[in-house]
Amino acid sequence: MLKTASVEELLRTHPFLAGFADAHVQKLTGIASIVHFEAEKLIFREGDASDNFYLIVEGIIVLEIHAPGRTYRIATLKDGEEIGWSAALPKARKYFQARALRPVTAVALPGPALRALWEEDCKLGYLFTKRLMGVVAERLRDTQIQLIDVFGQSQPPEE
Protein backbone atom coordinates (compact mmCIF):
# COMPACT_ATOMS: atom_id res chain seq x y z
CA MET A 1 0.00 0.00 0.00
CA LEU A 2 2.83 2.45 0.80
CA LYS A 3 4.21 2.47 -2.72
CA THR A 4 1.01 3.91 -4.15
CA ALA A 5 -0.62 5.55 -1.14
CA SER A 6 -1.28 9.27 -1.36
CA VAL A 7 -0.57 11.74 1.43
CA GLU A 8 -4.29 11.94 2.09
CA GLU A 9 -4.62 8.14 2.39
CA LEU A 10 -1.70 7.99 4.79
CA LEU A 11 -3.19 10.77 6.92
CA ARG A 12 -6.65 9.17 6.95
CA THR A 13 -5.26 5.86 8.18
CA HIS A 14 -2.77 7.16 10.74
CA PRO A 15 -3.92 6.53 14.35
CA PHE A 16 -2.95 10.05 15.45
CA LEU A 17 -5.68 11.49 13.22
CA ALA A 18 -8.34 8.84 13.94
CA GLY A 19 -11.73 10.53 14.22
CA PHE A 20 -10.66 13.81 12.61
CA ALA A 21 -13.28 15.31 10.28
CA ASP A 22 -12.73 14.93 6.54
CA ALA A 23 -12.38 18.70 6.23
CA HIS A 24 -9.55 18.69 8.78
CA VAL A 25 -7.73 15.85 7.03
CA GLN A 26 -8.09 17.76 3.75
CA LYS A 27 -6.51 20.85 5.28
CA LEU A 28 -3.63 18.81 6.68
CA THR A 29 -3.17 17.11 3.31
CA GLY A 30 -2.56 20.53 1.78
CA ILE A 31 0.56 21.10 3.89
CA ALA A 32 1.85 17.51 4.26
CA SER A 33 4.48 15.59 2.33
CA ILE A 34 5.75 12.03 2.35
CA VAL A 35 9.37 11.67 3.48
CA HIS A 36 11.77 8.72 3.63
CA PHE A 37 14.76 8.12 5.87
CA GLU A 38 17.30 5.34 5.35
CA ALA A 39 18.45 3.12 8.21
CA GLU A 40 20.85 4.92 10.57
CA LYS A 41 19.94 8.32 9.06
CA LEU A 42 19.86 11.11 11.61
CA ILE A 43 16.46 12.79 11.25
CA PHE A 44 17.23 15.64 13.64
CA ARG A 45 19.59 16.45 16.48
CA GLU A 46 18.80 17.67 19.95
CA GLY A 47 18.81 21.49 19.75
CA ASP A 48 17.99 21.68 16.01
CA ALA A 49 15.27 24.08 14.90
CA SER A 50 11.95 22.34 15.23
CA ASP A 51 10.66 22.38 11.67
CA ASN A 52 8.47 19.30 11.23
CA PHE A 53 6.05 17.06 13.04
CA TYR A 54 6.21 13.51 11.63
CA LEU A 55 3.61 10.78 11.56
CA ILE A 56 5.45 7.47 11.23
CA VAL A 57 3.85 5.30 8.57
CA GLU A 58 6.42 2.53 8.39
CA GLY A 59 9.77 1.87 10.03
CA ILE A 60 11.47 2.31 13.39
CA ILE A 61 12.85 5.52 14.89
CA VAL A 62 14.74 5.90 18.15
CA LEU A 63 14.66 9.03 20.27
CA GLU A 64 17.88 9.72 22.14
CA ILE A 65 19.43 12.27 24.46
CA HIS A 66 23.10 12.97 24.98
CA ALA A 67 24.96 13.17 28.23
CA PRO A 68 28.72 13.58 28.59
CA GLY A 69 30.28 10.47 27.11
CA ARG A 70 27.04 8.63 26.46
CA THR A 71 23.85 8.61 24.41
CA TYR A 72 20.68 7.33 26.07
CA ARG A 73 17.80 5.82 24.13
CA ILE A 74 14.59 7.30 25.46
CA ALA A 75 12.05 5.61 23.20
CA THR A 76 11.74 3.34 20.20
CA LEU A 77 8.88 4.36 17.93
CA LYS A 78 7.27 2.49 15.07
CA ASP A 79 4.40 2.50 12.58
CA GLY A 80 1.45 4.54 13.79
CA GLU A 81 3.44 6.72 16.19
CA GLU A 82 4.80 10.25 15.86
CA ILE A 83 7.84 12.43 16.53
CA GLY A 84 8.65 16.11 16.55
CA TRP A 85 5.95 17.53 18.84
CA SER A 86 8.06 20.65 19.43
CA ALA A 87 7.19 21.77 15.87
CA ALA A 88 3.94 22.97 17.42
CA LEU A 89 5.88 25.66 19.30
CA PRO A 90 7.15 28.77 17.53
CA LYS A 91 10.93 29.20 17.70
CA ALA A 92 11.32 25.90 19.54
CA ARG A 93 14.29 23.57 19.38
CA LYS A 94 14.23 19.77 19.33
CA TYR A 95 14.40 18.18 22.76
CA PHE A 96 15.67 14.81 21.53
CA GLN A 97 17.73 13.36 18.74
CA ALA A 98 15.81 11.15 16.28
CA ARG A 99 17.48 8.45 14.22
CA ALA A 100 16.00 5.91 11.84
CA LEU A 101 16.84 2.46 13.12
CA ARG A 102 15.28 0.85 10.04
CA PRO A 103 14.11 2.52 6.82
CA VAL A 104 11.26 4.94 7.58
CA THR A 105 8.36 6.37 5.64
CA ALA A 106 6.59 9.23 7.38
CA VAL A 107 4.27 12.13 6.68
CA ALA A 108 5.89 15.48 7.48
CA LEU A 109 3.77 18.41 8.64
CA PRO A 110 5.76 21.67 8.70
CA GLY A 111 5.41 23.47 12.02
CA PRO A 112 4.78 27.00 10.66
CA ALA A 113 2.09 25.77 8.23
CA LEU A 114 0.53 23.61 10.94
CA ARG A 115 0.33 26.52 13.37
CA ALA A 116 -1.17 28.73 10.63
CA LEU A 117 -3.90 26.11 10.07
CA TRP A 118 -4.66 26.13 13.77
CA GLU A 119 -5.05 29.91 13.72
CA GLU A 120 -7.38 29.63 10.75
CA ASP A 121 -9.40 26.71 12.16
CA CYS A 122 -9.46 26.76 15.96
CA LYS A 123 -11.35 23.46 16.19
CA LEU A 124 -8.62 21.73 14.20
CA GLY A 125 -6.03 23.42 16.41
CA TYR A 126 -7.79 22.27 19.56
CA LEU A 127 -8.18 18.65 18.39
CA PHE A 128 -4.60 18.43 17.14
CA THR A 129 -3.16 20.03 20.28
CA LYS A 130 -5.20 17.72 22.49
CA ARG A 131 -3.67 14.71 20.72
CA LEU A 132 -0.25 16.33 20.79
CA MET A 133 -0.42 16.68 24.58
CA GLY A 134 -0.75 12.90 24.76
CA VAL A 135 2.48 12.59 22.76
CA VAL A 136 4.27 15.04 25.07
CA ALA A 137 3.03 13.11 28.11
CA GLU A 138 4.32 9.83 26.62
CA ARG A 139 7.75 11.34 25.98
CA LEU A 140 7.89 12.66 29.54
CA ARG A 141 6.99 9.22 30.87
CA ASP A 142 9.59 7.56 28.60
CA THR A 143 12.22 10.01 29.84
CA GLN A 144 11.30 9.36 33.47
CA ILE A 145 11.57 5.60 32.97
CA GLN A 146 14.98 6.02 31.34
CA LEU A 147 16.17 8.23 34.21
CA ILE A 148 15.05 5.66 36.76
CA ASP A 149 16.86 3.00 34.77
CA VAL A 150 20.08 5.00 34.63
CA PHE A 151 20.07 6.64 38.04
CA GLY A 152 18.04 4.13 40.04
CA GLN A 153 19.41 2.80 43.28
CA SER A 154 22.72 1.10 42.68
CA GLN A 155 22.69 -0.44 46.16
CA PRO A 156 19.83 -1.77 48.22
CA PRO A 157 18.48 0.70 50.79
CA GLU A 158 19.82 0.42 54.32
CA GLU A 159 17.51 -1.14 56.86
pLDDT at 146: 74
pLDDT at 28: 97
pLDDT at 157: 54
Question: What is the Cα–Cα distance from 134 to 141, expressed in whole angstroms?
Answer: 11
pLDDT at 129: 93
pLDDT along the chain (159 residues), means of 10: 81 96 97 97 90 96 89 91 91 90 97 96 95 89 78 58
pLDDT at 149: 73
pLDDT at 2: 59
Question: What is the Cα–Cα distance from 53 to 16, expressed in whole angstroms?
Answer: 12
Classify 7-146 by CATH class: mainly beta
pLDDT at 153: 55
Q: What is the pTM of this model?
A: 0.86
Q: Which residues have CB under 8 Å from 88's CB, separation 6+?
A: 53, 111, 114, 115, 128, 129, 132
Question: What is the Cα–Cα distance from 74 to 141, expressed in whole angstroms?
Answer: 10
Where do the domains of the chain lie? 7-146
pLDDT at 1: 47
Pairing of the two strands 42-44 and 97-100: antiparallel
